[in-house]
Every structure is written in C-alpha cells, then in structure tokens.
C-alpha cells in the first residue's frame, strides 16, 4: 500500500505503509498542518521513515505503539529522540520511554486529523486500536484473516474475546482495517468482511473462545522474550536482539510448527530421538543444540555428542554444520522454540533432513532420559 488514502473521509490525509516486511508501519500526514504520525515504527527502519517524512515536507509529531511488540524492536524511543516527537502508548505499557499514556476514549489531534483510542487488550495488556475517520489501525488485536496470539507474556484469551466482541465487533462494517502484521502480503480489509470470514469472529461463548485459544497455546520462543525485555527498556540498538526473518511469530501457532519465512518445520518427540540415537554410528542423527553455552552445563544438561551452535549465531556459522548436510539433523533447545527457528534457518540454507525436538530438554528430562553435563 502506498500513496494517498482518501476514500470515505471528508479530510485530506496522507496514509502510507512504509515497510516491505510482515511488520507494518503506518505514516499518517495532515495535508493542512504538514504534521505526521507514525504508528508501530520498527527500530532498524527509522532512517527510511525520516527520509520519507522529510520528502513529504512533514514534521513528525507523534510516534505511537499499538502495543509492546514481541517480534521486533520498536523504533518509538529512538525516533522520538531524533525528532522531538511525543512517544505514545497505553497507560499499562511497561515501557519507560512513553511520554503520553492513553486509555479507552483518549483522543489526539493533528490539524484536521483526530485519532481515537480503543483499549483492546488480549494479545498484550497494553493493546490499543486506533480509529480515525473510516480507518481502523488494529495492531495485533485483529489481523486480516486472523489475530495476534494470546499466549505471550501479558496475553489473555478472555480479554481478547472482550476486545473483539465488545470494542471492535459493534463498529461499522465499512471501516477499513490496517493491522500491525500480515504474513500473506495483504494490506487492508473491510471490518464487515472480517466479521463474516475471520475464524476469530465465529460464534462462540466467552468460555468456548478461551478454551479454543488455550488449546492452541505454545511456549514463547526465547528470542521473543528477549525482544519484549529490550522493548521494555526502550532499546535503541537494532542489533540488541537476534530476530528471525519474517517469522509469523505473532500469530497463534498451528499444530505444525512454522519457522522463518513460513517454512514448515517437522517435529520429533523425545522418545523418537532416543530411539534414533540407539542405532549404529553411521545412521545416527546429528544433535544440534542451539542454546547458549552455559545452558549445556545447567540443570537440564545436554545430549551426548551434541554439536553446539547458538541459534542467534547460526546464520553466520553455517559452515560448522555444513559437514552434516547429508545427514539427519535434530535441533534441540530448552523447550522447542529456538530449535524450530534453527530448523527453519537450516531449511532456508538447503538442508533437507532437519527436525526439531518437541518440548526440548525439558521434555527429555521429564522422561528421565540420560543427559551429560547437568549441574
């Protein structure tokens, strides 16, 4: 989506989506006052945003996060530092760099453009949806054909149900929704279409909805927890946390694990791994432990003869795994999140025989299987 967006509004406003990734950042500009607002800026892209704002002859007034992001580093703090723009988030945000905290019904104006905030928790405790005219910026509360996951820290399926059905569903069907993510290349949708086609709007009681999402829950990958911590601390270095490329991390996991660039990752149970390790040396799989070095000698230990390459270093250390290209590789981590990411990285690099151990070393230890190096 690029260019001016004027359909269905009586005021002149510039609207552009500025990223070429699954994370969407929106630039809103008032043609009357030549002021601008950024919604959900990504830290590594702020130079691009500033160039875009300058080329339009605009001055940035507000930088807004619809929620605390778990899949990328927010650019709100850094861009506020560089421009003097006001950093805006919900009052529940744990971020230390928020200057203006909003709540249900809060409004901010930029010339003839007025933004109204709806409090829509569920994906996080600080989630907001922003309405201006016929546009609805839904953050991770509502995607096109989906919604943000509710099993990350601060997520709550019951609150998500309330947000969808008491805050968003009563709104007019002709509103255009613009989400914070889309992993299928879509840019916008009509709210009425989502009510009819999106599985999250299927008729369910609140209890049924909560049970449905709880049954789909999975442990958050460690790298997402690192991103959350960095965003709480208002990180300004894009290299602060390693993040996989366009992983559909903010969607509820499917029964089959999905890794970077939506490549399907096959999983294997600890029981199957143990069985495969009992065969002859020539047919035995390579165990690739993708945790940090200190974890190998921690309470969970590690599998004997495991090859250690932390997932954050794997893209630059593929040469260490290259000798095993023609063998079966089983990626292992603490609970299965990092190993799924590592498996997808290897698949991207052309490794054909890659698996991720379901449940990681926690599940292995729960079964009482032997380990090495446990403290």
Close Cβ partners of 353 (under 8 Å, ≥ 6 residues apart) = 326, 327, 328, 329
Is the pLDDT score of 122 beyond 80?
A: yes
Residue listed under structure tokens 């004027």: 6
Domain 254-366 in the same topology as domain 13-214? no
Q: Which of 311, 313, 307 is nearest to 328 (CA)?
A: 307
Q: Three-class SS of residue 258?
A: strand
pTM (two decimals): 0.69
pLDDT (0 to 100) of residue 239: 86
Specify the CATH architecture of the domain 13-214. Answer: 4-Layer Sandwich (3.60)
Say what the pLDDT of residue 243 is. 77
* Residue bearing the bigger pLDDT, 116 or 374: 116
DSSP label of 293: G
Mean per-residue pLDDT, 160-172 = 98
Nearest-angstrom CA–CA distance, 357 and 274: 11
What DSSP string runs through 165-227?
IIIITTS-TTPEEEESB-SSS---EEHHHHHHH-GGGSS--HHHHHHHHHTT--PPPHHHHHH
Checking if the pLDDT of 6 tops 60, the result is no
**Average pLDDT for 210-234:** 88
Q: What is the mean pLDDT of the chain?
A: 88
Which pLDDT score, from 0 to 100, does residue 258 have?
41
Q: How far apart are CA 53 and CA 110, in angstroms?
A: 15
Domain coordinates of the chain in residue numbers?
13-214, 254-366
| Residues in Cβ contact with 369 at an 8 Å cutoff, skipping those fewer than 6 apart | 270, 274
Chain position carrying tokens 């702020």: 46
CA dist 11 and 32 (Å) reads 9
**CA pseudo-torsion sign 19, 95, 47, 341:** negative
**Quick one: fold of 254-366?**
Oxidized Rhodanese; domain 1 (3.40.250)
pLDDT in tens, 256-277: 434 443 446 789 999 999 999 9
Q: Phi, psi (5° rounding) for residue 307? A: -90, 125
pLDDT reported for residue 26: 97
Model confidence at 64: pLDDT above 90: yes
Q: Is the pLDDT of residue 53 over 90?
A: yes
Check: CB of residue 260 under 8 Å from CB of residue 244.
Answer: yes
pLDDT for the residue numbered 8: 37
Is pLDDT above 70 for 188?
yes
The predicted model gives 57-61 an average pLDDT of 96
- pLDDT (tens digit per residue) in 14-50: 999 999 888 899 999 998 899 999 999 999 999 999 9
């Amino acid at each position: 989506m690029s260019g001016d967006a004027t359909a269905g509004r009586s005021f002149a406003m510039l609207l552009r989506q500025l990223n070429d990734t699954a994370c969407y950042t929106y630039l809103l500009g008032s043609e009357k006052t030549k002021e601008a607002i950024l919604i959900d800026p990504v830290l590594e892209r702020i130079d691009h945003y500033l160039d875009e704002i300058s080329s339009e002859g605009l001055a940035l007034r507000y930088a807004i996060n619809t929620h605390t992001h778990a899949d990328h580093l927010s650019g709100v703090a850094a861009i506020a530092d560089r421009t003097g723009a006001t950093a805006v988030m919900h009052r529940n945000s744990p971020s230390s760099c928020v200057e203006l905290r909003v709540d249900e019904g809060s409004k901010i104006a930029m010339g003839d453009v007025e933004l109204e905030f709806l409090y829509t928790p569920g994906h996080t405790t600080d989630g907001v949806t922003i309405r201006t005219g016929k546009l609805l910026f839904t953050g991770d509360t509502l995607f096109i054909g989906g919604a943000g996951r509710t099993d990350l820290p601060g997520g709550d399926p019951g609150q998500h149900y309330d947000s969808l059905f008491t805050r968003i569903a009563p709104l007019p069907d002709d509103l255009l929704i613009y989400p914070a993510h889309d992993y299928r290349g879509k840019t916008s949708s009509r709210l009425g279409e989502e009510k009819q086609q999106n599985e999250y709007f299927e008729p369910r009681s609140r209890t049924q909805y909560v049970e449905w999402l709880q049954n789909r829950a999975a442990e958050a990958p460690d790298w997402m927890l690192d991103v959350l911590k960095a965003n709480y601390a208002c990180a300004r270095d894009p290299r602060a946390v390693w993040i996989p490329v366009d992983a559909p991390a903010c969607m509820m996991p499917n029964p089959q694990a999905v890794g970077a660039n939506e490549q399907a990752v096959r999983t294997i149970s600890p029981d199957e791994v143990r069985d495969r390790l009992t065969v002859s040396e020539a047919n035995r799989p390579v165990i690739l432990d993708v945790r940090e070095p200190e974890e190998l000698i921690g309470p969970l230990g590690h599998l004997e003869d495991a090859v250690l390459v932390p997932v954050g270093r794997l893209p630059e250390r593929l040469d260490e795994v290259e000798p095993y290209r023609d063998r079966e590789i089983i990626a292992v981590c603490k609970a299965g999140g990092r190993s799924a990411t590592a498996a997808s990285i290897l698949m991207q690099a052309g490794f054909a025989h890659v698996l991720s151990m379901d449940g990681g070393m926690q599940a292995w230890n729960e079964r009482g299987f032997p380990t090495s190096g446990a403290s």
